[in-house]
Amino acid sequence: MIQLKNRSISTKYHILFWLGYFSFNVVRWGSYFHDYWYSIKSNLVEFPLHILMVYLNVYYLIPKYILKKKYKRYILLLFLSLGAAYVLRSGLNYLLVTENIWPEAESSQQAFTFNHVVAVVLGELYVIAFATAIKLTIDWVQEKKRYRNLEALQLKTELEFLKTQIQPHFFFNTLNNLYALTLEKSKKAPEVVLKLSEIMEYILYEAKEPKIRLFKEIKSIQNYIDLEKLRYGDKVNVNVNIIGDIESNEVPTLLFLTFIENCFKHGARYNNHLDIEITFKKLPNSYIYFCASNSYNEFSNKVKKHGIGNANIERRLQLLFREDYTLNITTENQRYKVELTFPLYEISF
Residue 266 lies in a domain: yes
- Quick one: pLDDT at residue 168? 66
Please choose, from the candidates 287, 268, 286, the residue with its C-alpha nearest in 3D space to the C-alpha of residue 276: 268
Q: Hey, what long-range contacts does 187-190 have (CB within 8 A, 24 or more apart)? A: 188/230, 188/231
CATH code for position 289: 3.30.565.10
pLDDT digits (tens, 9 = 90+) for 3-62: 444 456 788 888 999 999 999 988 988 888 788 888 888 888 889 999 999 999 999 999
Residue 35 lies in a domain: yes
Instruction: Calculate the alpha carbon distances from 238 to 190, 218, 279, 291 in Å.
Output: 22, 14, 11, 13
Same domain, 206 and 336: yes
DSSP H or E segment with residue 213: strand 211-213
Same domain, 111 and 58: yes
- How many domains is the chain built from? 2
pLDDT digits (tens, 9 = 90+) for 155-167: 666 656 656 655 6
- Quick one: pLDDT at residue 317? 87
Residue 4 lies in a domain: no
- Give the residue numbers spanning the domain of 264: 187-346
Residue 177 lies in a domain: no
- Quick one: pLDDT at residue 10? 85
Percent of the chain with pLDDT over 70: 80
DSSP 255: S
- Interaxial angle between packed helices 36-56 and 11-33, expressed in degrees from 0 to 180 and rounded to the nearest 10: 140
Percent of the chain with pLDDT over 90: 24
Residue 320 lies in a domain: yes
| Reported pTM | 0.55
Same domain, 50 and 134: yes
Tell me which of 6-10, 119-123, 315-319 is least confident.
Answer: 6-10
